[in-house]
Amino acid sequence: MKFTNAVYNALCALSVCRGYGHGGTYTSHGCFSDSADHPGLTASKLLNQTKFTTDQCFDFCGAHLYSGLENGRDCYCGDIIEGDSMPISPDACNVLCTGENVECGGVNAIQIFELSDYTPPLPPVLWTPIGCYTTGSYFSATSMALDSCEGFCDAGGFTYAGLEDGTCSGDPDNTCGGSETIEIFEKVKQ
């Protein structure tokens, strides 16, 4: 079920709130089994909140695909629902939130919501050395380091970065290719 802000507020007033937080639209996936040994969501958690609300959990989990409410006071976040957590009767998610009159999961029962307009984070940019090659001409800098070369090439939209002429003057712990030999690095997407 999907709800707009107005519908969410109306449902919350009737104690049957199921879905809209400040960060976007949430869709209920229902009530799932959950335990300390087999948690349903494992990325982040906010526990034992004395004035706990659904919006507090949705805001806390904003960077994750799933938000989970449990025991009326606990919030769990994740990007996958773990395999040991299985759908159970909605009657098991019957504990009211400590900060509002709506159901927030239950004992060993987590009520899971999906952020409908979720955008996964971009993977980090990694560089992998692919070998040394001979070159006839080169550009030099007064203080060269591997990360500054990779940053320059990344900003220029290049897939490869190359260093040559021995020790990096800006990073003496690393080498920058060799004499008349260029060490090539390839940008790797994860």
Instruction: Return the HEC string of 132-160.
Output: EEECCCCCCCCCCCHHHHHHHHHHCCCCE
Q: Give, rounded to a whole angstrom, the gap between the first and last alpha carbons of the chain.
A: 33
Give the global pTM. 0.55
Euclidean distance between CA atoms 14 and 172, whole angstroms: 66
Euclidean distance between CA atoms 23 and 41, whole angstroms: 19
Burial of 172 (0-12, 13-18, 19+ CB in 10 A): exposed
Predicted local distance difference test score (pLDDT) of residue 112: 93
Closest among 119, 148, 115, 125 to 28, alpha carbons compared = 115
Euclidean distance between CA atoms 110 and 152, whole angstroms: 47
Predicted local distance difference test score (pLDDT) of residue 145: 74
pLDDT along the chain (190 residues), means of 10: 37 36 71 88 88 89 89 92 89 92 91 82 73 56 73 78 71 70 76
Predicted local distance difference test score (pLDDT) of residue 135: 54
Predicted local distance difference test score (pLDDT) of residue 12: 36
